[in-house]
Amino acid sequence: MEFINGQTLEDFIKENGLLDEYHAAYICYEMVNAIEFMSQNSIVHRDIKPGNVILTVDGEVKLLDFGLAKKESENTLSIGDEFKGTPQFVSPEYIRDDPLDFRSDIYALGGTLYYLSCGKPPIEAKSAIETLRAHLYNDFIRMEMRQPDFDHDFCLLINSMLAKEANERPSLKDMRTICYKSLSRWREDSHS
């Protein structure tokens, strides 16, 4: 077993405050690589959340806890199974027990980035059941309303990652492009 010297993103924002756009784009860019690798191996993580992503002391981003991961071809739930996952970050298709692919992890990553940047999950409700129902039927407060200083395209990226329908979410390539644009803009601003 590997020891990873760092802290979860959940703990990171408790100590350092919410992520700015640069750090959110960096986390997103690195997580796109992880999701792409899992997708190439037909694996869906099913539990991407701030507590399952570590930022190492060297600045690397690592995805943890593959306890709920499954092959894309496996069912997510079956009769008699209890729901497993973190209600604040699960995709609508996971809740509906539809077939899953990497786009379900994109949804969870969108929720994670939203939380890390805004301090609240995109969907809030009083109970786990209400939260799951809200993922299916309720709209969230759009990213640009919570973080008006973030680049418009980056806000649209996170909003689109949280689309209710998997086929409306961005491709990994588009995600990488928008993250790179945000990272480049921040680097240029810091040198001017």
| 53 SS3 class | strand
Which residue of the set 11, 20, 47, 151 is catalytic? 47
Burial of 178: CB neighbours in 10 Å, binned 0-12, 13-18, 19+: buried
Buried/exposed code over 91-112 (b: 16+ C-beta within 10 A; e: otherwise)? bbbbbeeeebbbbbbbbbbbbb
Per the annotation, the verdict on 47 as an active-site residue is: yes
Residue 47: strand, helix, or coil:
coil
Torsional sign, CA 110, 111, 116, 122:
positive
Cβ pair 88, 82 in contact under 8 A: no
Q: Which residues are catalytic?
A: 47
